[in-house]
A and B are shown apart, each in its own frame.
Chain A
């Protein structure tokens, strides 16, 4: 009997069904509700922008892997698709397509592949792409299409109907130092020429009927995606809960202290990129800490920075910057937050 035909490998001999692919495609599924809602509010432009971003992310990853690194092609592992979707989610749906392509190149080429590809990048690639675009094309990156229901024409895509975001409108108006928060939120803002911007109510904020980046508007769709990822054990609750909780408390304290100057915490949570950031960007496993305690510190840090930038900074929105700044602290957090070792000798009892 021939005997040397058996596989010889050290234990364990059994493996779970999880794979990089199953995790990544799980995230993609979780992103679909938010994509559907942005299609509903922003029309075909939302789909086209997303498609352009996904295809260019995969394309750049392919080119880099094939011709620069001459390594394995992993464009179907799902991670480039996620970067593409998230980049698209973080830009206005009517952004010129070539800017989307440039953003993808920065996300994949600079933020991901130059560090050694999946798993080695310290910063969230989609956010790096987004911030690059924001700094390079500040006008286009802050011209928002007005949400409208089921606009199947390409009109919204080519000649933008410029709307405002709640955060932007509030910040600008508050900056003038004439009106109180409540007054602004109730009566709206004059955008010039008698065009009054009315703030969405909580219901519309929840559903996503408000101006903003492509995929960030619908809180409810994002939460559904987040619950799905929790159920699939792709993410844990630590980062989103720590981040959202911090924002709620911090913004709430500011609001209680000076209700005229600072918007209420629900307004903060429901507008801008906080939900998208908390559920999909800050939870990116590659760029977040490894232990529960670390994840909580990370989430709290993002929450604090977000509110500080929004309320005291120059930009109306601060989630992207806050996450990128905390990304930089991840190695330090990992050093400082070790899991509790079993049988650790208690320090001087």
Chain B
């Protein structure tokens, strides 16, 4: 029996068109717009001015709080302006816009190709380095990584979990990273193990990536304490709580964090960024992005500098298809629809997914036929139909009592509903209203 989480889940069409496509370096754009808020938490504070010359890897905005992250330049050139530019959220947000001139890297970055297995930094130095390098969760959540590694007093971790699940359909960037950069992933894992002071790490991979499983299993033999575990293809296997349950059978309590059950989860892409930061002194300024869709002529996995306009990625993948109806930043289940493709790639852009007109439209909503499918697929044991009903009627106490805040927004309920009811839309409304109410309550 393959490991999986115990309740709910769905199996959408995988559509991994770009699977097995080698990671290609995308050509440098003419300008980049680097948002100062690409992570969860406080926006970074710019430390460069209009007209300044910058090089690749140079810090251009500093972390401004405990939960925040440094931002580095992804190109060399001149800062042309610091201004509001539309970003992937669809809103205009402050960005540092840089005109690209050449490709000169900060001299501190080790650009040699060799694998550096020798971890010399101490536990504290590793955490600090990861923070300095602006590393955030690259799976899409963009939570600053050093925060996850700073374990609160009274808590301990005994195992590190690496998320190589990539349960979102269409996306293949993590898969490709695992295939091409397995050894760096292993060393990165050892670095994280040292940072957390644990002797065991589990890498969870869904069994639709057999090649990655075989390869990593083979090379992990040389890295003591690192185990590769095969998981059933079942969405949302990569949800943090689901993954922990599937791998070590511990249940993160409602409202709690993984550290409450003695573990920390990092994405495989993040782990490679950690390797580069710690062993190669290279801050986070580029990432792998899958560009794909049914009508995309050349689906691909690109290594992209942060701040590159999304339309350049689409051009490189064969151009925007004629019948494009929707462009999504991320995967089909949790990604965000873009209203423009001239927005910059950020640290959280795991994929650019293009839907044709037919697939982009939602079906017409019908009455709830009480089929209970939403209840049976919810991995958090919630009753989506009920949460939607309560939200529609503004019955916020009910929304709170029925645990709307536990919803991980995986979208399984909306996916499954035969009546095409916008369950998650209403649950999100319920969640944000309830959070506001709770905040107001706590202030009293």
Contact A7 B254 (CB under 8 A): no
Interface of chain B, main secondary structure: loop
* B438 sits at the interface (CB 8 A): no
User: Interface segment, B39-47, B190-198, B218-226, B371-379?
Assistant: B371-379
* A13 sits at the interface (CB 8 A): yes
**In the complex with contacts A15-B363, A342-B241, A8-B337 CB distance below 8 A:** yes
Closest to B423 in A: A12
* A119 sits at the interface (CB 8 A): yes
* B259 sits at the interface (CB 8 A): no
* B82 sits at the interface (CB 8 A): no
Q: How far is the CB of A132 from chain B (nearest CB, A)?
A: 23
User: Interface segment, B5-13, B50-58, B205-213?
Assistant: B5-13
**In the complex with contacts A10-B337, A11-B333, A339-B383, A18-B373 CB distance below 8 A:** yes
Contact B241 A6 (CB under 8 A): no
Contact with A along B395-417 (1 / 0, CB 8 A): 00000000100100101101111
Contact B361 A7 (CB under 8 A): yes
Q: How far is the CB of B404 from chain A (nearest CB, A)?
A: 11
* A117 sits at the interface (CB 8 A): yes
Complex: how many Å from CA A37 to CA B134? 71
* A161 sits at the interface (CB 8 A): no
* A9 sits at the interface (CB 8 A): yes
Complex: how many Å from CA A62 to CA B340? 44
Q: How far is the CB of A329 from chain B (nearest CB, A)?
A: 15
- List residues 102-160 of chain B with CB under 8 A from any CB of chain A: none
Complex: how many Å from CA A14 to CA B14? 11
Interface size class of B (residues with CB under 8 A): 35 or more
- List residues 277-321 of chain A with CB under 8 A from any CB of chain B: 285-291
Contact with A along B320-353 (1 / 0, CB 8 A): 0000111110101111111111100000000001
Contact A341 B380 (CB under 8 A): yes
Closest to A14 in B: B332
Complex: how many Å from CA A77 to CA B373? 18
* A153 sits at the interface (CB 8 A): no
* B312 sits at the interface (CB 8 A): no
Query: What's the A-B contact tally at a CB cutoff of 8 Å?
Result: 168
Contact B339 A4 (CB under 8 A): yes
* A195 sits at the interface (CB 8 A): no
Residues of A within 8 A of B424 (CB): 10-12
Residues of B within 8 A of A286 (CB): 369-370
- List residues 1-40 of chain A with CB under 8 A from any CB of chain B: 1, 3-4, 6-16, 18-20, 22-23
* A162 sits at the interface (CB 8 A): no
Complex: how many Å from CA A342 to CA B415? 20
Residues of B within 8 A of A4 (CB): 339-340
Complex: how many Å from CA A77 to CA B13? 26
Contact B339 A342 (CB under 8 A): no
* B90 sits at the interface (CB 8 A): yes
Closest to A288 in B: B370
**In the complex with contacts A9-B362, A14-B169, A16-B10, A341-B336 CB distance below 8 A:** no
Q: How far is the CB of B377 from chain A (nearest CB, A)?
A: 9
- Among B326, B368, B370, B382, point to the contact of A6 (Cβ < 8 A): B326
- Among B327, B385, B416, B425, point to the contact of A10 (Cβ < 8 A): B425
Closest to B261 in A: A343
- Among A1, A23, A342, A344, point to the contact of B369 (Cβ < 8 A): A23
Complex: how many Å from CA A341 to CA B254? 8
* A118 sits at the interface (CB 8 A): yes
Q: How far is the CB of A13 from chain B (nearest CB, A)?
A: 5
Residues of B within 8 A of A12 (CB): 332-334, 411-412, 414-415, 424
- Among B169, B332, B359, B380, point to the contact of A342 (Cβ < 8 A): B380
Interface centre among B252, B371, B403 (most CB of A within 10 A): B371
**In the complex with contacts A11-B409, A16-B10, A23-B369, A6-B415 CB distance below 8 A:** no
Contact with A along B255-299 (1 / 0, CB 8 A): 110000000000000000000000000000000000000000000
Contact with A along B404-444 (1 / 0, CB 8 A): 00100101101111111010110010000000000000000
* A120 sits at the interface (CB 8 A): yes
Contact A118 B415 (CB under 8 A): no
Contact B379 A342 (CB under 8 A): yes
Complex: how many Å from CA A341 to CA B403? 8
* A340 sits at the interface (CB 8 A): yes
Interface centre among B367, B368, B378, B383 (most CB of A within 10 A): B367
Residues of A within 8 A of B369 (CB): 20, 23, 79, 118-119, 285-286
* A176 sits at the interface (CB 8 A): no
Interface residues of B, Cβ cutoff 8 Å to A = 7, 10, 12-13, 90, 169, 241, 245, 251-256, 311, 324-328, 330, 332-342, 353, 355, 359-363, 366-373, 375, 378-383, 385, 403, 406, 409, 411-412, 414-420, 422, 424-425, 428
| Cβ-closest 3 pairs across A and B | A12-B411, A119-B367, A14-B332
Q: A13-B337, A291-B372 are in contact. List 7 more A-B contacts (CB 8 A).
A: A3-B339, A6-B326, A14-B12, A15-B420, A19-B418, A23-B369, A343-B252
Provide a sorted-by-A list of 29 A–B residue pairs whose CB atoms are within 8 angstroms: A3-B342, A6-B338, A7-B325, A7-B326, A7-B337, A8-B90, A9-B362, A10-B424, A11-B333, A11-B336, A12-B424, A13-B326, A13-B333, A13-B360, A15-B363, A16-B10, A16-B418, A18-B373, A19-B363, A19-B419, A20-B419, A22-B418, A118-B366, A118-B369, A285-B372, A290-B370, A339-B381, A341-B403, A342-B379
Interface residues of A, Cβ cutoff 8 Å to B = 1, 3-4, 6-16, 18-20, 22-23, 74, 77, 79, 116-120, 285-291, 338-345
